Structures are given as C-alpha cells and as structure tokens.
Amino acid sequence: MAWRFALMIDPVPADDIAEDHADTFTAVDPSAPALSVGELSTQRGDGIFESIGVVDGHAQEVAAHLERLAHSAKLCDLPAPHLGQWRLAVAVAAAQCPPGECVIKLILSRGVEHGPAPTAWVTAATAPDNTRARTDGIRVVTLDRGYDSGVPGRAPWLLLGAKTLSYATNMAAIREAKRRGADDAVFVTTDGILLEGPTSSVILRQGDRFITPAPGAGILHGTTQLSLFEHLSDRGFEVGYATLPATALAAADAAWLVSSVRLAAGVTAVDGAPLPYDAAFTADLNAYLLSPRD
C-alpha cells in the first residue's frame, strides 16, 4: 500500500499578519472520508490545484507553484491564498515524506454549497515510478483541443491559463492517446498551433535552441519548463517562447514533455513517425530535475 498523508487547512486571508499558521492545519486519516457532500470541488470541479514533486524530502520549486496557485485563484475569482500559510503546509507535508520521490498536492476549492468559506487541503503520497518514461521516452499523438488560438482572449471564462480541478477532458485525451497506441497526447488548436500535453509542457529542440509555446496561448506556464530553461540557459543554450505551428513538433531535432512529477520524458514518436531521441541528454535533464531546486 502506497504511503499517504493528508492535512486539512483552514484558509486565512492573504493579508493575515500572524507569523505562525500551524494551528490552522489538521492532520486527517488519508483513507477516511474528509469532505462534505456539498463540496463544490467534487460537485463541479470548481477549484484549483498544484502538484509538487518531492525528492528525498525536498519539495521542488515551491515558490513557482505557490505563484501559479495565486494566479489560478485570481483567474477563478477565488480568495487570494495566503502564501505563507501554504508554504508552511507544504513544509509540514514534505517533512512527513519518506526518502525517494513523493508528490504533494495543494487543493483550494470554492468550498461547500451554501457554506461560508473555501475549502483547502494538502495531500502527500509516494510518486508513481516514472523510470520508463524518463529513460525510454514516450510516443505521443497530436489531438485537436477543439478551439482556435484566439479563444483565450475571446473567452477568458474558459479559464485556460488556470490549473483548475476540471481535468476530466485532460484525462480523456490521455485515454484517447492510448487507444491510438501512444503513451501521451499533445494538444493543438483548430488553426494548427502547438499547445501542451494534458498534464505537461512541450519543449522542442531546434539545433542549440530550445523553445516552448508561449503561456499566453491558453496553456499553463509550467514550473518544470521554467526551471529547465534556467538550467539550459546556464549551460549556454538559447531558450525562448514562440507561437509554434503544430508541424514544428514532428520537425524538431528533439522534443520533451515535462512536468513536476514525471519530469522530462523524451518524445520518441509523433503520430506514429519516429522522432530523434537523445537518451544521454534526457538523462542529464532528469539528473538536474531530481537535484534540490528552489
């Protein structure tokens, strides 16, 4: 049975000046019921979340995750999270994590129907074994996201840049990819613009330049991509954001899907056609991603 830990949080306002918020946390039995039946996160997926990788007790890139949590809260008209309170909750959960890889999830929900306040909780669990994706790579298929590249600007209520709990379509895309004989998907717009994976960012290599779709395109700004770009830039590579045609993926010199828990998975095939895959370079990227990062 995998190890698990859970903490309910009583969210304090963002401007609360108390120094210690430890008394706002309640450790709960992770296998026991903890949410009200009126909980809007379960009824409507109305909430936001973050998944943070933990390596040997060190929670990775906490500041970037908290920043994105605050950004998602803003897009969803949720109360601004108190970052000090969440940082402490992450530290409490990380301190419980066994050696090896774990994942800490932060969830901030609209709350309980007719209830007074948002609901918040943090879970920690052992991470799945991602060795195969990291070392052997993954086959991807491109899937139509069902909207054009103008939608994020035209319809902000679709919350495209927020990490909301409504991931049913993302999970459906991964199932569709598997039905098509691949391991994962990459979304493209109806007008042929490259977006992201259902749970990952896409990075392309073109010579010594690494590029990723710009976050303004209605995709999440990945913390792993941000961290890798800093690392690649330190190694002397050029990095940048661009509006990329979907065809750029199959034409790249290499490509990766990157995310906080699986880390860097090299793409070995796009829509059934092989893509060059550099196992040694990918191993270097994952060694960096597994090192303590703040």
268 near ligand PLP, judged by CB under 6 A: no
Q: SS3 of 22, please?
A: helix
223 near ligand PLP, judged by CB under 6 A: yes
By CB under 6 A, name the one of 127, 160, 220, 232 that touches ligand PLP: 220
The structure tokens listed for 234 are 């330190």
By CB under 6 A, name the one of 39, 101, 183, 196 that touches ligand PLP: 196
Those residues whose C-beta lies under 8 Å from the C-beta of residue 168, and which sit 6 or more positions away, are: 45
Size of the site for ligand PLP (CB under 6 A): 14
Site string for ligand PLP, 73-112 (x = CB under 6 A): ----------------------------------------
Give whichever of 108 and 220 is closer to ligand PLP, judged by the CB atom: 220
Question: What stretches of the chain show up as alpha helix (H) in DSSP?
Answer: 40-44, 62-75, 83-96, 131-136, 151-154, 168-179, 223-234, 247-251, 279-290
Give whichever of 38 and 240 is closer to ligand PLP, judged by the CB atom: 240
Q: How far is the CB of 176 from ligand PLP (least distance, A)?
A: 15
The structure tokens listed for 114 are 């007719």
Residues in the chain: 294
Q: What is the C-alpha to C-alpha distance for residues 78 and 120, in angstroms, rounded to an integer? A: 12
By CB under 6 A, name the one of 42, 51, 126, 206 that touches ligand PLP: 51
By CB under 6 A, name the one of 24, 259, 282, 286 that touches ligand PLP: 259
224 near ligand PLP, judged by CB under 6 A: yes
Q: What is the C-alpha to C-alpha distance for residues 97 and 158, in angstroms, rounded to an integer? A: 35
286 near ligand PLP, judged by CB under 6 A: no
Those residues whose C-beta lies under 8 Å from the C-beta of residue 244, and which sit 6 or more positions away, are: 193, 194, 204, 211, 213
Give whichever of 85 and 260 is closer to ligand PLP, judged by the CB atom: 260
Q: What is the C-alpha to C-alpha distance for residues 257 and 224, in angstroms, rounded to an integer? A: 10
222 near ligand PLP, judged by CB under 6 A: yes
Applying CB under 6 A, which residues contact ligand PLP?
51, 196, 198-201, 220, 222-225, 258-260
